[in-house]
Amino acid sequence: MELSKHIDTPEAEEIDPREVKQQLLEKVPTKVARKRAKQIIVNDVREDLDVPQIGANARTIPGIITQRGCTYAGCKGVILGPTRDIVNITHGPIGCGFYSWLTRRNQTRPPGPEDANFMTYCFSTDMQEEHIVFGGEKKLRAAVQEAYDLFKPKAISIFSTCPVGLIGDDVHSVARDMKEQLGINVFAFSCEGYKGVSQSAGHHIANNGIFTHVVGLNENGKEGKFKINLLGEYNIGGDAFEIDRVLEACGITVVSTFSGNSSYDAFASAHTADLNTIMCHRSINYVAEMMEAKFGIPWIKINFIGAEASAKTLRKIANYFEDDELKQKVEEVIAREMPEVIKVRDEVRKRCEGKVAMLFVGGSRAHHYQELFREIGMQTVSAGYEFAHRDDYEGRKVLPTIKVDADSRNIEELEVHPDPERYRARKTPEQIAGLTEKGFRFKDYDGMMPDMAMNTLVVDDISQYESDRLIDIYKPAIFCAGIKEKFAVQKKGIPMKQLHSYDSGGPYAGFKGAVNFYREIDRMVNSQVWKYLKAPWQENPELAAKYACD
Amino acid sequence: MELSKHIDTPEAEEIDPREVKQQLLEKVPTKVARKRAKQIIVNDVREDLDVPQIGANARTIPGIITQRGCTYAGCKGVILGPTRDIVNITHGPIGCGFYSWLTRRNQTRPPGPEDANFMTYCFSTDMQEEHIVFGGEKKLRAAVQEAYDLFKPKAISIFSTCPVGLIGDDVHSVARDMKEQLGINVFAFSCEGYKGVSQSAGHHIANNGIFTHVVGLNENGKEGKFKINLLGEYNIGGDAFEIDRVLEACGITVVSTFSGNSSYDAFASAHTADLNTIMCHRSINYVAEMMEAKFGIPWIKINFIGAEASAKTLRKIANYFEDDELKQKVEEVIAREMPEVIKVRDEVRKRCEGKVAMLFVGGSRAHHYQELFREIGMQTVSAGYEFAHRDDYEGRKVLPTIKVDADSRNIEELEVHPDPERYRARKTPEQIAGLTEKGFRFKDYDGMMPDMAMNTLVVDDISQYESDRLIDIYKPAIFCAGIKEKFAVQKKGIPMKQLHSYDSGGPYAGFKGAVNFYREIDRMVNSQVWKYLKAPWQENPELAAKYACD
Amino acid sequence: MLLRHTPKEITERKALVINPAKTCQPIGAMYAALGIHSCLPHSHGSQGCCAYHRSTLTRHYKEPVMAATSSFTEGASVFGGQANLVQAIENIFTIYEPDVIAVHTTCLSETIGDDIPQIARKADADGKIPKGKYVIHVNTPSYVGTHVTGFANMTKAMVDYFAQTNGKRLDQINLIPGYVEPSDMEEIKRIADVMGVRTVLFPDTSGVLNRPQTGKYEMFPKGGVTVEALRTTGSSMATIALGPMASGAAARALDNKFDVPCEILDLPIGFKATDRFVDTLRKTAGINVPDSLNVERGKLLDIVTDMHQYFYGRKVALAGDPDHLIALTEFLVSIDMWPTHIVTGTLSKGFENRIREITEHVPHPVNVASPGDMFLLHQWIKNEPVDLLMGNTYLKYIARDEDIPLVRWGFPILDRIGHSYFPTVGYRGGMRLLEKILDAILDRQDRDSPEESFELVM
Amino acid sequence: MLLRHTPKEITERKALVINPAKTCQPIGAMYAALGIHSCLPHSHGSQGCCAYHRSTLTRHYKEPVMAATSSFTEGASVFGGQANLVQAIENIFTIYEPDVIAVHTTCLSETIGDDIPQIARKADADGKIPKGKYVIHVNTPSYVGTHVTGFANMTKAMVDYFAQTNGKRLDQINLIPGYVEPSDMEEIKRIADVMGVRTVLFPDTSGVLNRPQTGKYEMFPKGGVTVEALRTTGSSMATIALGPMASGAAARALDNKFDVPCEILDLPIGFKATDRFVDTLRKTAGINVPDSLNVERGKLLDIVTDMHQYFYGRKVALAGDPDHLIALTEFLVSIDMWPTHIVTGTLSKGFENRIREITEHVPHPVNVASPGDMFLLHQWIKNEPVDLLMGNTYLKYIARDEDIPLVRWGFPILDRIGHSYFPTVGYRGGMRLLEKILDAILDRQDRDSPEESFELVM
């Protein structure tokens, strides 16, 4: 893999990223340019994987066409969206509920046909003007009651949209009252869209809520010898199914997944796991921190995107448990899965080697998917996150140096103490020291930039204008982002892969997922259809009229 | 029913059919006019149901656009078409086989999923020029062999198309040889398209063939107390299924049906029945005659088109068997079926009473369906057959007076003698006399004309031009004919019902069939869609431009 | 089952909407604004609104959908969004260079009460609006009305901001197409062209949201009604507005401000409504209907009479917007189909009465709800099954659970293409609708018929 | 199973054709003749041929199809059909009053060797052919070639009988559309119109076999190429023939007799073949391609790039006529679909090679048969299943037995409407084809996907 870490396509090499940066900034107003300059960084990996500081988790400038969504989207859409047995009621005008209805391709598989699955439903209080004027709490109570009467769910949750905060509806007291009244768990999220600077704030609010209201309520979690939680995996296109398949084959038990294909009871029993593994560092690392503080569960960063990464991840988990049988089982599984992966990878690599990719998406995928591209010989010349923070770019070592700005300050940080009864350190300090000695790393995330080639261009919260210019300059073989970017990119004749929804594809995690992704990228970058965009008379417009007309 | 026997719609009454006849003839060349004059008759029913003589079963005049098809169509398409377990091979160029492939809506229901059903297949020798020049027998033999090797059918039949007769392929000797060689029944039909003057000749050739090659080969026919054959019922749209349902309910056993939903074995055991009942007099009465001569099975004319007619038919069969239990069962069935019929009939009649119909189709339906129209109060002002003979118009009593012309002479008449072993008169002369005394009628068919109102117009082998004129003159509420006529009629804004294929409808036989037909006609003649054919600006073209343009 | 928790028994709901048959105002305003040439819609609120609207429109049209946002933060929500909007205006005109910025508000900015015109004046005063460029606005609080209202309001804003007159009447007619597909707007223009009538059609998303793949991306493509054309609408001889809810407001505004008389008609879906449109155009312009239109009409009627047996008596459940449902219901009734359950999430007075009129002779009870939701529609269907569903993609969950064929129609259609290229308005559109309906019905018959009645000819 | 006797194991057949993928010459001649204005096709043979051809064409078009017959009897078959034809000519001109009678022969009259020109001369001599009326003919023995041959021959007869020249070249181009739908002929004309090229298109069944329902029946409707127009074809500057098999003969005849140079192209199905048609038209007429056509093209390619993941690698089985199959196969390959089994009943030399060329890069073996039948196609499918079937209505039996979606295309289509109104040629036609293909594929996915992967957005 090392080899492919620097770009060897001449075209790309001839491009000076510093110049590119200038070009991205020259047209925009000075104030904007000054701000954007901090978020557009030419990558430069020094020893100890030091990289330049990047501006991240900062406000998007008004009028700049951004990829970003809002806090509600991060809370209700991303984190709670995949929960199938909680009735998620949006408190607000109809739109927010409508737009977050089934649009994310989180897959879920209830145990049986009788079991709860509310993901196909959209629940809203559909606030009208009178509620804005006179308050919406009454309607919210009634809505919760109606939801209960109709569905008798295990739990009901409430999501605040922009106006709710402004008019001062106390959604939490409504939740408390209804919880008491109905005897089921009811909890609310103050995830108004205007909070924070991106979805990221919503993830935080959502995870705090789940941790506060659900985690720890169920002592009868899944049993197993090697029990882990899978954090930050949302089962887009079935990723979590593939990961479960692989872990199960290794004899590792997933007590709960946050929150792909999740269930309320699994959330509630998360504290019974012995290890927290983090897929998407951005959206959930703080939950792992809190679980360690409260229940004594250590956490590690893992990555199932990429076959090599998946293998590495399995070994890492096995090493954590320090169990030879498990280590051997893991090797068996890897040995069983890799041949097919290698077969397809090498075949596809023949056709993709040296092609150039760009990734601007999410809070971890812009990083993880570089791995998959690398496996088929494709270079990432430019990448960036939509809503990540500095530690996701530069690594956790910069955490102490991140200053909390006004926007972040408003997102509640929970203070967590060890649980008097249930705190149980899964590893003694000695064990931890021992493991660390062997090079095992806890709470490790070095970020995206150290993992990227020199002189690649890292752009945080990229704008439509910037991506448009980047494509003109680099002419990548493929561009990865979200639905809003897809067709503008493709209109330029560049295939565009969605890495939020995976378009219609997936799973891409694990071993089978890697194979799917290789094939998908092969289809996209090697399809003939892109050659036909110009008509013959546009290619050769000369007019050799064969026969003169009188 | 009597009442509705004369037309009481003023419009229709004001029209003088003699004048209409003149109008139909005035434009056509004299020679044609002279010929057609004999086939266009103003109905005039005298005592003893005497009616004027009509020209029928005569050649169609070249260049006149006719409804008629050919002898091959009558033989392969109509009679053998509905046979599911015989592999019917068309010997000729590809067209004839292709056009007669699945286009007639004969329904068939093999006993089980494993049982033979070749109706969905088209088999042809696909003659090429070399076969026309050097003869096609060799290819025909090979085709029969290939069909046998692939399908191992009970029987294979061969149909001659026009060129076959001309080039002198001896299909019958091929059939004989292959029969011997393969040890299954193989027989051929000399049903070249140019024979006779219409499909009718083909029916005759087909039925002669079945009688000669199949009937009598199987002594193990269906058992039952009251055993009949149903002749001239082709199960279009499932008619035979409904008839079977009704007969079964009465305890009457159908040994064989010619040839709707038929099977080879049933044909072969037809001679074990005790009564032949004839639906379509035209296409098959001679088979009944032959079966009586050879096996001693009497025959009667029946009609299941129309609820009243169906009831009458059941009673007639019961009377034939002179069995009180059967008579009682029949009355029970009628009593059970009629209420629903009457309910729908009366409801529909409200909307259809007095409307006018025209029927030009087939060899019996133009007659039978008048009954159904009558039941909902609709008058038939003009009707005619496509390929029937004088007896179908004027009644069997004219049979002795019909002279056989050149075209008919070429259609073989079988000479039939009592079967030495198997002839068994089902009724003694005394019994027959006794029944006749009670008014029971054998071999009875009075024809269509005596059953039609005075001054209605009867047109044999109607031409496109004539029907076009008739519609302009009578403006009927509905016109019934075949697919070739359908859209020309509808383009005139008149709903058109196919009475060959039933369009997409049926069954129309028996009691449930009557209900279907009432509803279908109600839909057609009372639909609003016919009112919208003209646009508003065509209705009122005046231009009251609201605002002047500068 | 995908909607396994939907009970057959119907209980009253006062507070909870489940599976809405509507969405909020701003998306309608954004869609309408995309129908102005070289216009960048701008969402004055938090980022999410803009992101959601762009995503939904993109999934429906499979086209670039560009729009900007004021990116409200908590601060802005407290102190007001003036600074955000002024900065946005500067950035947009500097970086994206549209001719027009069309601002619509959100529940957020409406709740805090931002005064857009005042902010726009401020931006202008600060020199943030280049010469010959425009900032227009409309108030679209998400808690009032629905996406249809937003479309209507933005369309009216085009009149409020641009329409003028010098008193002299121009030989042209204003056409307001309603909240329909780009292909429909194209077809409405084509019909007027065929009739030789000069028209200004607005908004006009054709060429914007059904653009070609050329290997070249244009931020502002050729399509859309130009500001110049909008200016002349005050001088047109008349306005024909299609769809009272979506187009009525703009038409009335032109009447009130410039005495441009208006005819407000149903959407031209089906031959009856199309007849009224064509006849009104004919009378208004004082011209004759060319034969080619009669031929189109006749072809539509030919399908109706040829295939009537397949339409007759089929029960249909519909979900959509009032303008669409009224026209479609009339169409279905006119070919002897039986609309049975009809739901719109949009509150529309007169809607139910209009539907009752149209379905007066349908020989069975008809369920109508305005506003209602798809949860209710599903419950109705469980109580009275239908042969066909017509409505947006969200109906596919009902279609699969109840095994009923679905004809996709309306907004949004997220899982099939064609709607943005092939119209369902006009006579040709009617032909397309009938083909879709027949395909759905006949495919089902082919699937379900016993082998003996599997039909070759249909 | 509907085709329960079809074995998976394939055995050689030398003599027996089962479930043909073709029919006989005369029907093609009749269809072509209907493309002449005020022409009554006449079948010189026994009644059945005419009845069968009219029935089949009627079921396909759901339109009146008028044609006359010589109504041979046994006598005529022995002594020849002269008397019949002469009488027919008299009756037809007297009663139906067409401008042209287009006689085609049958296996019967060919076997007995009737000499049509001689008979026509006789009729003329006897004064049975009014001034200014025409009797044209073509020999179409059913035992030679197929329906495609018949179409080609009758089209050539139009040249043989009517084409003239006074040496002076006219500023127009002959367009021979091939054995396609009326809607396709209309679309081909429209494309030429849009390009501003004056053309004579023949035959032209548009307006004849897709006529409006007006409540008025016309024996000879407005449509069809006029005799006057056909006369000028000898003076045109060039001929563009679409579909070598169906249109080549007429084009070459014009070249041979009048030195009208010709370009013989594939049917314009899909963007590549349409590009060649448009580019040839451009070069031949020496004009520029208007942007509106580039936009149509770009819309087609937009569907291709937007939905590529649903096309890629889908295996397709095709049955049809050589001209159609060549163009469709190229189209499918160009969007990365994988034609797998291809059958035509029509013998066409070069066909297999052409298909092999086109499918060269399809990564799996391709079965091709010319001539072959649908029985063989079905056996191939049993051995190598496919995702999609494309062909005429008779494929529905295979589709149901094997549970494979079917896109109806070609001739005859007896159980769906739309084909006669909406073209599948040109860029727009390509869009329609892709929509049909996507509907088939996505409907199947919606039907078969497990609940957890039932997709809202596709």
- Of all residues in chain B, the percent with pLDDT exceeding 90 is 93
> CB under 8 Å to C242, separation ≥6 — which residues?
C175, C176, C177, C178, C180, C188, C265, C266, C267, C268, C277, C323
| Residue B7 confidence (pLDDT) above 50 | no
If you compute the radius of gyration of chain A from its CA atoms, what whole number of angstroms results? 25
pLDDT of A2 reads 37
Query: Would you call A33 a catalytic residue per the annotation?
Result: no
Is residue B14 very low, low, confident or very high in pLDDT (cuts 50, 70, 90)? confident
Tokens of A548: 């003169």
In chain B, % helix, strand, coil (3-state, to 5) comes to 45, 15, 40
Averaged pLDDT score across all residues of chain C? 98
Is residue A544 very low, low, confident or very high in pLDDT (cuts 50, 70, 90)? low
Is residue A546 very low, low, confident or very high in pLDDT (cuts 50, 70, 90)? low
Q: CA-CA distances (angstroms) from residue C362 to C321, C329, C359? A: 21, 11, 5
* CB of C387 closer than 8 Å to CB of C336: no
Is residue B2 very low, low, confident or very high in pLDDT (cuts 50, 70, 90)? very low
Tokens of D450: 């497990």
Could you read off the pLDDT of B431-473 as tens digits, one per residue? 999 999 999 999 999 999 999 999 999 999 999 999 999 999 9
Show residues of chain B in contact with C237, CB under 8 Å: 547-549
Cα(B422)–Cα(D433) distance, integer angstroms: 64
Count of CA atoms in the C-beta half-sphere (13 A) of A46:
5
Place of tokens 């004219």: B398
Considering only the beta carbons, identify the residue of B129, B141, B195 that sits closest to D143: B129
Sheet holding C68-69, edge to edge: C68-69, C39-44, C100-105, C134-138
Catalytic residue among A12, A56, A58, A73: A73
Task: Kindly state the average pLDDT of the residues B245-268.
Answer: 98
pLDDT of A411 reads 86
pLDDT of A4 reads 38
| Helices and strands of chain C, counted as H and E runs | 18, 14
Q: Tell me the whole-structure pTM to 2 decimals.
A: 0.97
Look at A527 and D289 and tell me if their CB atoms are within 8 Å: no
Place of tokens 């009149």: C159
D294: left (phi over 0), alpha (psi -120 to 50) or beta: alpha
Query: Would you call B96 a catalytic residue per the annotation?
Result: no
Interface of A with C in 83-102 (CB under 8 A): 89, 92-102
Is residue C315 very low, low, confident or very high in pLDDT (cuts 50, 70, 90)? very high
What's chain B's length in residues?
550
Q: Does A322 touch chain C (CB under 8 A)?
A: no
Look at D306 and A504 and tell me if their CB atoms are within 8 Å: no
Q: Buried (b) or exposed (e) across B439-448, using 16+ Cβ within 10 A?
A: eeeebbbbbb
- D325, amino acid identity: L
* CB of B206 closer than 8 Å to CB of B303: no
Residue among C201, C412, C207 at smallest CA distance from C324: C412
Task: Kindly state the average pLDDT of the residues B493-499.
Answer: 98
> CB under 8 Å to D296, separation ≥6 — which residues?
C212, D426, D427, D428
Distance (Å) from the alpha carbon of D373 to chain B's nearest alpha carbon: 10
Is residue B412 very low, low, confident or very high in pLDDT (cuts 50, 70, 90)? confident
Picking from C169, C445, C457, C458 by the largest number of B CB atoms within 10 A of its own CB, the best residue to mutate is C457
Cα(A97)–Cα(A72) distance, integer angstroms: 10
State the ipTM, two decimals.
0.97
pLDDT of D43 reads 98
* CB of D237 closer than 8 Å to CB of D173: yes
| Residue B318 confidence (pLDDT) above 70 | yes
Cα(A355)–Cα(C275) distance, integer angstroms: 57
Dihedral sign, CA of B494, B500, B506, B509? positive
pLDDT of B407 reads 85
Task: Kindly state the average pLDDT of the residues D55-76.
Answer: 97
| Choice among A401-405, B247-251, B322-326 with the minimum mean pLDDT | A401-405
Element (H, E) at C68: strand C68-69
pLDDT of A140 reads 98
Identify the chains in contact with C, defined as 3+ C-beta pairs within 8 A.
A, B, D
pLDDT of B544 reads 57
pLDDT of B5 reads 41
| Residue A8 confidence (pLDDT) above 70 | no
Is D247 strand, coil or helix?
A: helix
Look at A543 and D310 and tell me if their CB atoms are within 8 Å: no
Catalytic residue among B70, B240, B266, B357: B70
- Of all residues in chain A, the percent with pLDDT exceeding 70 is 96
Query: Would you call A104 a catalytic residue per the annotation?
Result: yes
Catalytic residue among B68, B105, B131, B203: B203
* CB of B392 closer than 8 Å to CB of B282: yes
A493: left (phi over 0), alpha (psi -120 to 50) or beta: left
Residue among C37, C34, C36 at smallest CA distance from C60: C34
Tell me, rounded to whole angstroms, the distance of Cα C264 from its chain centroid. 16
Considering only the beta carbons, identify the residue of D168, D309, D313 that sits closest to A504: D309
Cα(B184)–Cα(B156) distance, integer angstroms: 8
Q: Buried (b) or exposed (e) across C72-85, using 16+ Cβ within 10 A?
A: bbbbbbeebbbebb
Cα(A222)–Cα(A274) distance, integer angstroms: 12
Element (H, E) at C171: strand C170-176
Picking from B537, B539, B542, B543 by the largest number of C CB atoms within 10 A of its own CB, the best residue to mutate is B537
Picking from C191, C263, C281, C283 by the largest number of B CB atoms within 10 A of its own CB, the best residue to mutate is C283
Q: Buried (b) or exposed (e) across A411-426, using 16+ Cβ within 10 A?
A: beebebeeeeeeeeeb
Residue among B129, B114, B183, B119 at smallest CA distance from B155: B183
Cα(B306)–Cα(B244) distance, integer angstroms: 15
Distance (Å) from the alpha carbon of B348 to chain D's nearest alpha carbon: 25
Is residue A406 very low, low, confident or very high in pLDDT (cuts 50, 70, 90)? confident
Considering only CB atoms, which residues of chain D are within 8 Å of chain A? Answer: 168-171, 237-238, 261, 271-272, 275-276, 278-279, 282-286, 288-289, 294, 297-298, 301, 304-306, 308-310, 312-313, 334-336, 451-453, 455-458
Is D2 strand, coil or helix?
A: coil
- B232, amino acid identity: G
Place of tokens 């004055």: C44
**Largest Cα span, chain C:** 80
Is residue B312 very low, low, confident or very high in pLDDT (cuts 50, 70, 90)? very high
Could you read off the pLDDT of C135-190 as tens digits, one per residue? 999 999 999 999 999 999 999 999 999 999 988 999 999 999 999 999 999 999 99
Could you read off the pLDDT of D81-103 as tens digits, one per residue? 999 999 999 999 999 999 999 99
pLDDT of A408 reads 83
Distance (Å) from the alpha carbon of C303 to chain B's nearest alpha carbon: 11
Residue among C257, C113, C249, C231 at smallest CA distance from C162: C231
What residue of B is the nearest CA neighbor of D82? B62
Catalytic residue among A68, A84, A91, A104: A104
**β-strand partners of C39:** C100
Cα(B215)–Cα(B265) distance, integer angstroms: 9
β strands within C334-400, DSSP E: 338-343, 367-369, 388-391
CA-based end-to-end distance of chain A: 68
Distance (Å) from the alpha carbon of D269 to chain A's nearest alpha carbon: 15
Considering only the beta carbons, identify the residue of C23, C48, C51 that sits closest to A98: C23
Q: What is the DSSP string of A488-546?
A: HHHTTT--EEESSS-TT----BHHHHHHHHHHHHHHHHH-GGGGGSS-HHHH------S
Cα(B320)–Cα(B297) distance, integer angstroms: 12
Catalytic residue among A105, A131, A203, A374: A203
Q: CA-CA distances (angstroms) from residue D332 to B108, D409, D418? A: 38, 14, 21
If you compute the radius of gyration of chain B from its CA atoms, what whole number of angstroms results? 25
- Of all residues in chain D, the percent with pLDDT exceeding 70 is 100
Identify the chains in contact with A, defined as 3+ C-beta pairs within 8 A.
C, D
Distance (Å) from the alpha carbon of C3 to chain D's nearest alpha carbon: 10
pLDDT of B1 reads 31
Query: Would you call A70 a catalytic residue per the annotation?
Result: yes
Cα(B508)–Cα(B514) distance, integer angstroms: 5
If you compute the radius of gyration of chain C from its CA atoms, what whole number of angstroms results? 23
pLDDT of A241 reads 98
Exposed/middle/buried for A536, CB within 10 Å: 0-12, 13-18, 19+? middle
Look at B530 and C305 and tell me if their CB atoms are within 8 Å: yes
pLDDT of C400 reads 98
Picking from D4, D18, D65, D394 by the largest number of B CB atoms within 10 A of its own CB, the best residue to mutate is D18
| Residue A10 confidence (pLDDT) above 90 | no
Crossing angle of helices D291-306 and A483-490, in 10° steps, is 130
* CB of A422 closer than 8 Å to CB of A295: yes
Identify the chains in contact with B, defined as 3+ C-beta pairs within 8 A.
C, D
Tokens of B236: 């279009």
Is residue A549 very low, low, confident or very high in pLDDT (cuts 50, 70, 90)? very low
Cα(A456)–Cα(A18) distance, integer angstroms: 10
> CB under 8 Å to C105, separation ≥6 — which residues?
C26, C44, C45, C114, C116, C137, C138, C139, C140, C141
pLDDT of B10 reads 47
Show residues of chain D in contact with C416, CB under 8 Å: 438-439, 442, 458
